[in-house]
Amino acid sequence: MNDLRPSPIAGRWYPGDPAVLRKAVEGYLAAAQPAPSATAQPLPAPEHIVGLLTPHAGLMYSGPVAAYGFRAVQGATVDVVALVCPSHFHADGPVLTTGHAAYVTPLGAVPVDQAALDQVRAELATGLDVRPERALYAIRNDQEHAIEIELPFLQCVLAGDFQLLPIMLRDQGDETAQALGQALVHALAGRRSLLVASSDLSHYFPQPVAERLDASMLGQVAAFSPEGVLDIQARGLGQACGPGAIAAVLWAARELGASQARVVRHATSGDVSGDFDQVVGYGAAVIWKN
């Protein structure tokens, strides 16, 4: 496949050797066993799962948490994965995507669904009342890790090939998040799809503060409340680096028939590093329809 996005993080944020990478991902998935509970119902079958929330730090930090989300869709067959994240590096526009035909990881190339991107661009232009070329900027050779770090998990858990609909949000306000949610609905309706919100939680607080902020944010995810996610972020009661990405995915999932969400794992960087003075929070959640 031509025009592959060159990876800026393979060999640094995650192993560059295919065999080592696959072994690491499969190890995290095998370890992602839910704690025994007398009250929690099992998660639904993969075909009922509409979306996920997963973190996006270096694999050794976020991988053990992300695996709890991705394990829920192991064996699923989907045509397209809509992966929405915050933009950490680019100021080119409010909503961004790749200008390449495919993403590449050591496990292979993941083609970009250009037709779906074109539909999202058109719908966003209408929803935000801007020209199409301003609604969704395509960038090349980007440094964004928050999409790429999720791809090895998707390549390991999904059955068969899939296409990617990558979206990076610089503007994570209510209007943009809601417009993106609606645009994703139009692009994904009638297709076998999976929504993924790629977001870490609180950043660089002591562990007790991080746990409080993260619990508040994850509580809104569990309540299936995109409005609540944005509200507590704005009021400083909870924190995520991708509140708009989370809200957009929740809005889209709701319109695509999902009605329930469950937080399946939470941890912080301190659980790996042993440094609890300034931690980053990680959470995983599963969103499904009955």
Q: What is the pLDDT of residue 132?
A: 84
Say what percent of the chain tops pLDDT 70: 98
Q: What mean pLDDT comes out for the span 82-103?
A: 91
Q: What is the DSSP letter of 79?
A: S
260-268 and 279-288 as β-strands: parallel, antiparallel, unpaired? antiparallel
Contact between 175 and 128 under an 8 Å Cβ cutoff? The reply is yes
- CA neighbor of 54 nearest in space, from 288, 257, 264: 264
3-state secondary structure of 176: helix
Instruction: Report the DSSP pairing between strands 279-288 and 49-54.
Output: antiparallel
pLDDT the model gives residue 134: 86
Alpha-carbon gap, residue 232 to 240, rounded angstroms: 10
In the predicted structure, residue 244 carries a pLDDT above the cut 70: yes
> What is the average pLDDT score of the chain?
95
For the stretch 129-173, pLDDT in tens is 998 888 999 999 999 999 999 999 999 999 999 999 999 999 999
Average pLDDT over residues 87-111: 92
pLDDT classification of 97: cutoffs 50, 70, 90: very high
pLDDT in tens, 47-77: 999 999 999 999 999 999 999 999 999 999 9
Between CA 49 and CA 63 the distance in angstroms is 20
Mean pLDDT of the 216-243 span: 98
pLDDT of residue 289 exceeding 80: yes
Share of the chain above pLDDT 90, in %: 91
205 CB-side CA count, 13 A? 17
| Contact partners, residue 23, CB within 8 Å, separation at least 6 | none
Residue 143: which residues within 8 A CB-CB, separation 6 or more? 8, 88, 89
Sorting pLDDT into bands at 50, 70 and 90, what band is 38?
A: low
All domains of the chain in start order, with CATH = 45-288 (3.40.830.10)
pLDDT of residue 1: 67
Q: How far is CA 251 from the centre of its chain?
A: 14
Q: Give pLDDT tens digits for 166-201.
A: 999 999 999 999 999 999 999 999 999 999 999 999
- Of 128, 101, 276, the C-alpha closest to 205 is 276
